[in-house]
Amino acid sequence: MDAYFNVSTLISLTEKCNIQTYAVGVKAPEAFTFLQDCRCTTVADSLFRNSLPVTHVAKFFRSKFL
């Protein structure tokens, strides 16, 4: 199966169960955009030092890459 399909399906299921999602290892803006589009709630990696809500990460990527 396609990894992107698996991730988006898993995030969709957790959202329907009112469970927050936590993505670790987000190193590229494209990966972050994908997770944001899937409605992932929290992302983390050494880029961010700590776990951050998706809205905060969006501001980070805009400031660094746009």
The pLDDT assigned to 49 comes to 61
The pLDDT assigned to 22 comes to 84
Enumerate residues 6+ apart whose C-beta is below 8 A from 47: 26, 27, 60
The pLDDT assigned to 43 comes to 82
The pLDDT assigned to 61 comes to 67
Task: Retrieve residue 8's tokens.
Answer: 């988006």
For the chain, which residues make up each domain, given as ranges? 3-65
The pLDDT assigned to 42 comes to 84
For 23, the 3-state DSSP assignment is: strand
Nearest residue to 45 via CA among 33, 59, 32: 32
Is the pTM higher than 0.75? The answer reads no
The pLDDT tens digits for 2-52 are 877 888 898 999 889 888 888 888 878 888 889 889 989 888 775 556 666
